């Protein structure tokens, strides 16, 4: 049997497919192992490269393999797909993972720490609760429309919904009023939980030097700063700011050929949590710019707002913010306002 230098693992809930390959790419073995069997097998296996897709439970197993002394490579699933031969099954997937990870120019996903995963779960839970609250508010609005009660969208109009239900008198049936009160209680519970999570996130942001530095960027608050700490890898992994911006999905999609450069819409191929928060922060900066300078002035943002839709400007500003964040974290400096630097 050839010496195994790389193992491709197709992760699952209960049964894992393992593909061992030699230095020349030849097949050493193919095994189907349960979770306990996989742990024992890897503990007894000589040290080698272990490749897995960056999917559910991958970070846990990556840390476990590193503790056993193996070198771990996490491959994005989209980069594994081209190496799957014809039929799609667990054995073919494991072989494709090993093949993709052995490529010299392959890009790998950094392994998250336990703390990073805990913070990411906190952010995702907050996002889920915000979505559930929005869903509940919209459901209540749609029910009241059936009785002629029209309330505009937005959480700031919740008081109007509550006023209609509490002061319904004979305008609404008693059953509708009772159901409306249930909706309002559910919305209040979601709001309380969201505020509790935001309080915890802001508390963590106050104790982090990186978060303090990030918050010097206009449009970046404690939640965005902690999201960057939780989801983004070390900035030194990116050669330049544009690479970090591309990793977030804030650059145009390319479809170039024959030496002709064709750029399309924003790719949205990157880290969606940070991207969304940066765009929201950019919108707040734009609103501040419009409020302070309604006639516009000779600034990059003011001139762009005259020519482009506000959302396009927000994405462009978010791109600029991402590049500034890369420069700040790689150089260990706070944000420097370009207009103030130019005036100096």
Residues 87-100 have pLDDT tens digits of 889 999 999 999 99
Q: What is the sign, positive or negative, of the torsion defined by CA atoms of 161, 167, 170, 174?
A: positive
Both 228 and 202 in a single domain? no
Where a domain ends, among 172, 206, 240?
Answer: 206
Six token digits for residue 67 = 């503790």
CA angle (249 as vertex; 246, 252 as ends), nearest 5: 80
Q: Which helix (H) or strand (E) holds 243?
A: helix 241-248
Report how far residue 118's alpha carbon sits from residue 59's, in angstroms, rounded to the nearest whole number: 12
Strands (E), the chain: 6-10, 15-21, 27-34, 49-53, 71-75, 252-254, 263-266
Q: Which SS3 state, helix, strand or coil, does residue 109 take? A: coil
233 domain residue, yes or no: yes
Residue 193 has pLDDT above 60, yes or no: yes
SS3 track for 264-281: EEECCCCCHHHHHHHHHH
- State percent of the chain over pLDDT 90: 58
Which of 55, 45, 49 lies closest to 12 in space, CA to CA? 55
Report how far residue 138's alpha carbon sits from residue 115's, in angstroms, rounded to the nearest whole number: 35
Report how far residue 241's alpha carbon sits from residue 231's, in angstroms, rounded to the nearest whole number: 17
Residue range 234-250, pLDDT digits in tens? 899 899 999 999 999 99
Both 69 and 34 in a single domain? yes
Q: Do the beta carbons of residue 318 and residue 278 sit within 8 Å?
A: yes
154 Cβ neighbours under 8 A, 6+ residues apart: none
Residue 61: CATH number of its domain: 3.30.420.40
pLDDT, position 304 = 86
Both 85 and 137 in a single domain? no
Residue 2 has pLDDT above 90, yes or no: no
Where a domain ends, among 101, 123, 141?
Answer: 101
pLDDT, position 262 = 82
Report how far residue 18's alpha carbon sits from residue 120's, in angstroms, rounded to the nearest whole number: 29
Lowest-confidence pick of 60-69, 199-208, 293-302, 331-340: 293-302
Residue 1 has pLDDT above 60, yes or no: no
Both 259 and 311 in a single domain? yes
Lowest-confidence pick of 64-73, 160-169, 230-239, 273-282: 160-169
Both 301 and 269 in a single domain? yes
CA angle (88 as vertex; 84, 94 as ends), nearest 5: 55
**pLDDT class of 342 with cuts at 50, 70, 90:** very low
228 domain residue, yes or no: yes
pLDDT, position 295 = 61
**pLDDT class of 174 with cuts at 50, 70, 90:** confident
Number of domains the chain is built from? 3
215 domain residue, yes or no: no
Both 118 and 94 in a single domain? no
214 domain residue, yes or no: no
42 Cβ neighbours under 8 A, 6+ residues apart: 50, 65, 68, 70
Both 173 and 194 in a single domain? yes
- Give the range of the structural domain holding residue 134, as residue numbers without chain letter: 114-206
1 domain residue, yes or no: no
**Unique residue bearing structure tokens 């191929």:** 269
Report how far residue 311's alpha carbon sits from residue 322's, in angstroms, rounded to the nearest whole number: 16
> Crossing angle for the helix pair 272-292 and 310-331, nearest 10 degrees?
110
Residue 134 has pLDDT above 60, yes or no: yes
Where a domain ends, among 101, 134, 159?
Answer: 101
82 vs 340, higher pLDDT: 82
286 domain residue, yes or no: yes
Residue 340 has pLDDT above 60, yes or no: no
Q: Do the beta carbons of residue 248 and residue 275 sit within 8 Å?
A: yes
Both 135 and 32 in a single domain? no
93 domain residue, yes or no: yes
Residue range 315-331, pLDDT digits in tens? 999 999 999 999 999 99
Instruction: Output the furthest CA–CA distance in the chain (Å, rounded).
Output: 84
55 domain residue, yes or no: yes
Torsion, Cα of 103, 108, 111, 116 (10° steps): -170
Give me the mean pLDDT over the 252-256 stretch.
83
Report how far residue 292's alpha carbon sits from residue 294's, in angstroms, rounded to the nearest whole number: 6
Both 34 and 127 in a single domain? no
Lowest-confidence pick of 76-85, 117-126, 170-179: 170-179
pLDDT, position 344 = 42
**pLDDT class of 149 with cuts at 50, 70, 90:** confident
Both 244 and 190 in a single domain? no
**pLDDT class of 297 with cuts at 50, 70, 90:** low
Give me the mean pLDDT over the 42-67 stretch.
94
Both 169 and 233 in a single domain? no
């Amino acid at each position: 049997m050839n010496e195994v230098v790389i193992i491709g693992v197709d992760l699952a809930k209960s049964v894992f497919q393992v593909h061992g390959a030699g230095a020349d790419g030849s097949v050493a073995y193919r095994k189907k192992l349960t979770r306990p069997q996989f742990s024992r097998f890897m503990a007894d296996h000589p040290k080698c490269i272990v490749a897995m897709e960056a999917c559910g439970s991958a970070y846990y197993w990556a840390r476990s393999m590193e503790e056993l002394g193996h070198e771990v490579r996490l491959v994005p699933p989209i980069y594994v797909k081209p190496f799957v031969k014809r039929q799609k099954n667990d054995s073919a997937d494991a072989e494709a993972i090993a093949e993709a990870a052995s490529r010299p120019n392959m890009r790998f996903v950094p392994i998250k720490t336990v703390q990073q995963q805990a913070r990411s779960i906190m952010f995702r839970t907050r996002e889920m609760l915000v979505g559930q609250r929005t869903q509940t508010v919209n459901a209540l609005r749609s029910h009241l429309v059936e009785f002629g009660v029209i309330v505009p969208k937005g959480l700031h109009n919740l008081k109007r919904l509550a006023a209609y239900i509490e002061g319904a008198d004979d305008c609404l049936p008693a059953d509708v009023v009772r159901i409306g009160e249930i909706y309002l209680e559910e919305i209040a519970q979601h709001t309380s939980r969201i505020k509790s999570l935001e309080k915890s996130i802001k508390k963590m942001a106050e104790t982090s030097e990186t978060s303090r530095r990030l918050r010097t960027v206009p449009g970046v608050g404690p939640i965005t700063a902690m999201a960057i700490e939780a989801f983004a890898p070390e900035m030194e992994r990116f050669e330049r700011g544009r690479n970090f911006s591309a990793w977030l999905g804030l650059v145009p999609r390319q479809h170039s050929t024959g030496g002709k450069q064709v750029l399309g819409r924003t790719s949205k191929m990157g880290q969606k949590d940070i991207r969304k928060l940066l765009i929201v922060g950019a919108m707040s900066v734009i609103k501040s710019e419009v409020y302070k300078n309604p006639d516009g002035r000779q600034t990059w943002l003011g001139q762009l707002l005259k020519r482009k839709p506000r959302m396009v400007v927000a994405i462009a500003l978010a791109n600029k913010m991402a590049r500034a964040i890369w420069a700040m974290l790689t150089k260990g400096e706070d944000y420097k306002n370009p207009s103030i630097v130019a005036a100096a």
